[in-house]
Structure 1
Amino acid sequence: MEIRGYTQSDEVSWIRCRTLSFLNTAYYDNVLNKKEIYKNSAIEIVAVEDGQIVGLLDIEYEQEENTICTKGKGLGGMIWHIAAHPDFQRKRIGTKLLEQAEQISKEKGLQYLEAWTRDDEWVNKWYIKNNFEKVYSYLQVFIEGNEEVQEVINVNVPNLKVVQAFAHYTGDDQSYIKSKFKRAHDCNCYIKKLV
């Protein structure tokens, strides 16, 4: 397996890898049809085996404090994507990508990495195992179905009917929100200090 920088010719394989790796997670519906182009500088690396992208990691990083990241001190890098193709999991691809990205991040003068993930237990354990610290959490709420939508959304536009919505809940009564909506995910922020 080779770890190298992402190139534009990797895009289709990158999208396939990301989509398949997210399929059996709480992010199953977060499907992309093209790879983002970041406004700021980014570390974009891939793991390749037999010409196929089997892992990926993207970090957009700051030149000025708190312009991308929000929970750490100093210059940070936001991990936007980290994934291993399901046919190649359990080969430490994510860890190898992270190790390479940390080395590059330190060379660029970053003090920490920030990552956000939903409530998949194995993903959260992976971050903790790799020395990230959970520093914040809120709920991502998917409001779906007539009952849920009608209870929380008032529409003042004639002939417009909302059928679903996405919301963030940052209050203290998370158990109430989880009991009220069928799909409410913890969204956890992790920080890893690099210095």
Structure 2
Amino acid sequence: MIIRNYRVTDETGWVRCRTLAFLQTAYFDNVLNKKEHYQNPAIELVAELDGQIVGLIDVEFEKEERTVCSRGEGLGGMIWHIAVHPDFSRRGIGQQLLYAAETIAKEMNINRFEAWTRDDLWVQKWYEKMKFKMVDSYYHVYFEGSEMKHKIQSNIPNLYLVNTFTHYVGNDIDQFKSNNRVHKCVCFERSF
């Protein structure tokens, strides 16, 4: 296996790897049909094995404090995507990608990584194993169909909300417990 910079010709493999990896998480419906591009510089690496993309990491980094990351001192990098193809999990690929991205980040005077994830315990434990610390959280709340009634409404005439994805930063999450989907979104940070 080699870890190398992402190339435009990797896009299909990148999308497949990310989609299959995310299907096993609380982000199962966050499907992309093309690779994201960033406003700021980014470290974009892939792990390749026998011509197949089996892992990826994308870290958008700051040239000016707090333009990408939500917290911290100095210049940081936001891990937007880190994924390992499920057929190749538990082989240390995610860890190798993280360390390779960190090496590049240090050369660019980046002093930390920030990553937001949902309430998948196995994902959170991986971040903790990689020496990230949980530093913040809020909630992702989805409303569908009858859940919308009386809770979410539009002020636009003749516009009817059917599905809504929201961020809730308050303290009374119990009011939404009857919803089918409520996820705690957690920020992890690793300084180096």
Q: Give the TM-score category using the shorter length.
A: over 0.9
Preserved contact between residue 61 and residue 68 of structure 1 (Cα < 8 Å): yes
String of CA shifts for 1:110-149, please: whole Å, max 9, x gaps. 0110000000000000000000000001100011122x11
- Displacement, 1:156? 3.4
SS at match of 2:150: helix
1:39 — aligned with what? Answer: 39
Whichever residue aligns with residue 44 of structure 1, its letter is E
Report what 1:108 is aligned to.
108
Contact 1:72 1:114 (8 Å CA) reproduced: no
Query: Aligned letter for 1:152?
Result: K
- Distance in 2 (alpha carbons) for counterparts of 1:155 and 1:171: 21
Aligned match of 1:164: 163
Which residue in the other structure is 2:149 paired with? 150
Which moved further from structure 2: 25-34 or 166-175? 166-175
Measure the CA separation in 1 of the matches of 2:126 and 2:145: 34
Question: Is the counterpart of residue 99 in structure 1 residue 66 in structure 2?
Answer: no
Query: Is 1:4–1:47's contact at 8 Å kept on the other side of the alignment?
Result: yes
Separation in 1 of the partners of 2:155 and 2:72? 40
Match of 1:173 in 2: 172
- One-letter amino acid of the structure 1 residue matched with residue 148 of structure 2: V
- Mapped to 2, the partners of 1:154 and 1:137 lie a distance apart of 26
Paired with 1:165 and 1:82, the residues of 2 have a C-alpha distance of 26
Q: CA deviation at 1:86?
A: 0.4
Give the structure 1 partner of residue 18 of structure 2.
18
Displacement, 1:157? 3.3
**Match of 1:12, SS?**
helix
Cα deviation for residue 87 of structure 1 reads 0.4
Please give the TM-score of this superposition, normalised by the length of structure 2: 0.97
Distance in 2 (alpha carbons) for counterparts of 1:89 and 1:157: 47
Aligned with residue 185 of structure 2, among 163, 184, 187: 187
- Asked if 2 retains the 8 angstrom alpha-carbon contact of 1:71 and 1:191, the reply is no
**Which letter maps to 1:155?**
S
The CA deviation at 1:181 is: 1.4
Please report the RMSD computed on the Cα atoms of aligned residues, expressed in angstroms.
0.9
Q: Secondary structure at the match of 2:166?
A: strand
Mapping for residues 45-64 of structure 1, pairs under 5 Å: 45-64=45-64
Shift of 1:153: 1.9
SS at match of 1:123: helix
Distance 1:155 1:61 in 2: 36
| TM-score using structure 1 length | 0.96
Post-superposition offset of 1:155: 2.7
Q: Distance in 2 between matches of 1:96 and 1:115?
A: 16
The percent identity for this pair of structures is 56
Separation (CA, whole Å) in 2 of partners of 1:66 and 1:50: 39
In the TM superposition, 1:125-144 aligns within 5 A as 125-144=125-144
Offset of 1:36 from its aligned partner?
1.0
Could you tell me which runs of 5 or more consecutive residues in structure 1 were left unpaired when the two chains were aligned: none
